[in-house]
């Protein structure tokens, strides 16, 4: 049977020793040939024997992504009974995601949840009850992933998608109603009007696709709060982190209007600094970030960076913050280590059992220690973020690309003067692709509502 080629991360998305990216389908071997190089670049995996494993590297064009072992299994001797390639890579979520993206770029599409199992069933590898039990597990996991990804989807992105879907369904409903009732509803001049509307939607979707690349659609990263008393050096620290040559900075509007999340990529680990608005504007706005404000940030954070001015003694405000972070993943920074110290490591240790690092934001010392500490916490699994979300981001991007392609077909049909019912097929495809991003629970209601609106005037 001729099928397209699917790919997914097959292992748990937690930091672990190895991760596996699985590719299944007729192009699996071609795809691996495009992205794999052996040590001496002298091997084509499409030519090797089935059930053999090969050491080498995954490349995206010129860029080497990871050192890997690749397992080759030819149809029908694989789980799906299709040609299957498994790439064993290093287990970091970033690496796994990068490799998956590379595989997708070179010809696979992301597997739907349960799709490998569905293929195993369709190809007669497992029976229905086996397939169902696997799919049940996957679905429950997927529901969780969908919920969490929905909750991570930026409000504005979600609204954009909802509004564009509404525009699309409105046009579909109009076409269908007009075709049903040509006596009362005329389609004269409609193609030109639709052309403008679809082009408008295409522009917006193109922007969303671009923003998917820099992580602006979904806030994927470790929610990090930088807290401490006024003048401890929070904004100086943030400026250093942001200004690091290796840091990539993007401003992300927060989900609430008054907060701004800043995304910092520290050596491959993505931090979303929450409430930087509160930190950044402390100089010009009268309000300094106080203990109350810190409390809110601490609650929302996966990781707290607590900055202490080591040239001063600890006081009641510090003890209040210490109390709030005692059950959180946190790192204590003794800042201003260039000045003579009033608060040392031992003084802090008495009150709190967290990593303590001496830094000077002024002289930019200790920053490497901070970065390494964060990195270690991440790779040891002490801090994490919702990694399902990253994959969903890849899926979302693909759904946007699908929607875009469908809308381009609508524009083509209009330009070629095709009949209106051609438009609605592709419009519906675009509508459905967008729906997979936001969850489709509302769809039927929305369709009913809109149809009922049209029909009332009849």
Interface residues toward ligand GDP, by CB under 6 A:
228, 230-236, 279, 282, 335-336, 338-339, 360-362
Q: Output the smallest distance, CB 336 to ligand GDP, in A.
A: 4
Instruction: Report whether 206 belongs to an annotated binding site.
Output: no
Of 84 and 335, the one with the shorter C-beta distance to ligand GDP is 335
d(CA 331, CA 374): 8
Instruction: Report whether 273 belongs to an annotated binding site.
Output: no
DSSP state for residue 208 in the 8-state scheme: H
Instruction: Report whether 256 belongs to an annotated binding site.
Output: yes
Of 241 and 437, the one with the shorter C-beta distance to ligand GDP is 241
Q: Output the smallest distance, CB 348 to ligand GDP, in A.
A: 16
Instruction: Report whether 255 belongs to an annotated binding site.
Output: yes
Burial 394-423 (b: 16+ CB within 10 A, else e): bbbbbbbbbbbebbebbbebbeeeeebebb
Q: Output the smallest distance, CB 239 to ligand GDP, in A.
A: 8
Q: Output the smallest distance, CB 230 to ligand GDP, in A.
A: 5
Of 279 and 409, the one with the shorter C-beta distance to ligand GDP is 279
d(CA 92, CA 15): 5
Q: Output the smallest distance, CB 363 to ligand GDP, in A.
A: 6
Structure tokens at 384: 């994490």
Q: Output the smallest distance, CB 307 to ligand GDP, in A.
A: 6
C-alpha 247: how far from its chain's center?
18
Instruction: Report whether 250 belongs to an annotated binding site.
Output: yes
Of 110 and 228, the one with the shorter C-beta distance to ligand GDP is 228
Integer-rounded Cα Rg, in Å, for the chain is 27
Structure tokens at 186: 């005329």
Instruction: Report whether 233 belongs to an annotated binding site.
Output: yes
Of 333 and 409, the one with the shorter C-beta distance to ligand GDP is 333
Of 55 and 319, the one with the shorter C-beta distance to ligand GDP is 319
C-alpha 35: how far from its chain's center?
23
Count CA within 13 A, CB hemisphere, residue 159.
4
Length of the chain: 458
Instruction: Report whether 86 belongs to an annotated binding site.
Output: yes
d(CA 218, CA 235): 25
Instruction: Report whether 231 belongs to an annotated binding site.
Output: yes
Of 69 and 358, the one with the shorter C-beta distance to ligand GDP is 358
Which residues are within 8 A (CB) of 182 and not within 5 positions of it... i.e. 6 or more apart? none
Q: Output the smallest distance, CB 237 to ligand GDP, in A.
A: 7
Residue 3, SS3 per DSSP: coil
Which residues are within 8 A (CB) of 413 and not within 5 positions of it... i.e. 6 or more apart? 422, 423, 426
Residue 253, SS3 per DSSP: strand
Q: Which parts are annotated binding residues for Mg(2+)?
A: 235, 256
Q: Which parts are annotated binding residues for (6S)-5-formyl-5,6,7,8-tetrahydrofolate?
A: 22, 86, 125, 458
Q: Which parts are annotated binding residues for GTP?
A: 231-236, 250-256, 275-278
Q: Which parts are annotated binding residues?
A: 22, 86, 125, 231-236, 250-256, 275-278, 458
């Amino acid at each position: 049977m001729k099928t397209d080629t699917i790919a997914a991360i097959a292992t748990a998305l937690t930091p672990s020793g190895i991760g596996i990216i699985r590719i299944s389908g007729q192009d699996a071997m071609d795809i691996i040939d495009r992205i794999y190089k052996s040590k001496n670049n002298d091997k084509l995996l499409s030519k090797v024997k089935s059930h053999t494993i090969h050491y080498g590297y995954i490349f995206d064009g010129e860029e080497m992504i990871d050192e890997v072992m690749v397992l080759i299994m030819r149809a029908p001797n694989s789980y799906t009974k299709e040609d299957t390639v498994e790439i064993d890579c290093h287990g970091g979520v970033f690496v796994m995601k990068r490799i998956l993206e590379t595989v997708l770029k070179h010809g696979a599409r992301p597997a739907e949840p349960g799709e490998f199992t569905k293929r195993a069933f369709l190809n007669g590898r497992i029976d229905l009850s086996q397939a169902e039990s696997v799919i049940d597990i996957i679905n429950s996991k997927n529901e969780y992933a969908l919920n969490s990804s929905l909750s991570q989807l930026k409000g504005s992105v979600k609204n954009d998608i909802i509004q564009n879907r509404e525009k699309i369904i409105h046009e579909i409903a109009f076409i269908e109603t007009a075709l049903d009732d040509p006596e009362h509803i005329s389609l004269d001049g409609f193609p030109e009007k639709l052309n403008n509307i679809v082009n408008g939607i295409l522009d917006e979707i193109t922007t969303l696709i671009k923003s998917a690349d820099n992580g602006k659609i979904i806030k994927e990263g470790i929610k990090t709060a930088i807290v401490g008393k006024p003048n401890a050096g929070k904004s100086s620290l943030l400026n250093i982190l942001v200004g690091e040559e290796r840091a990539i900075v993007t401003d992300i509007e927060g989900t609430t209007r008054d907060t701004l999340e800043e995304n910092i990529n520290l050596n491959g680990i993505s931090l979303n600094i929450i409430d930087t608005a509160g930190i950044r504007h402390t100089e010009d706005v009268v309000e300094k970030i106080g203990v109350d404000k810190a409390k809110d940030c601490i609650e929302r954070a996966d990781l707290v960076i607590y900055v202490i001015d080591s040239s001063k003694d600890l006081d009641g405000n510090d003890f209040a913050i210490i109390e709030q972070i005692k059950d959180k993943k946190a790192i204590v920074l003794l800042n201003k280590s260039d000045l003579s110290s009033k608060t040392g490591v031992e003084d802090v240790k008495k009150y709190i059992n967290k990593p303590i690092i001496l830094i000077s934001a002024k002289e930019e010392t200790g920053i490497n220690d901070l970065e390494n500490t964060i990195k270690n916490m991440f790779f040891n699994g002490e801090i994490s973020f919702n990694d399902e979300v990253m994959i969903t981001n890849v899926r979302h991007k693909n759904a946007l690309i699908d929607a875009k392609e469908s809308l381009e077909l609508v524009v083509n049909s209009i330009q070629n003067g095709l009949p209106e019912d051609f438009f609605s097929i592709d419009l519906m495809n675009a509508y459905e692709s967008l729906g997979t991003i936001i969850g489709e629970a509302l769809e039927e209601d929305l369709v009913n509502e809109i149809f009922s609106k049209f029909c009332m005037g009849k």
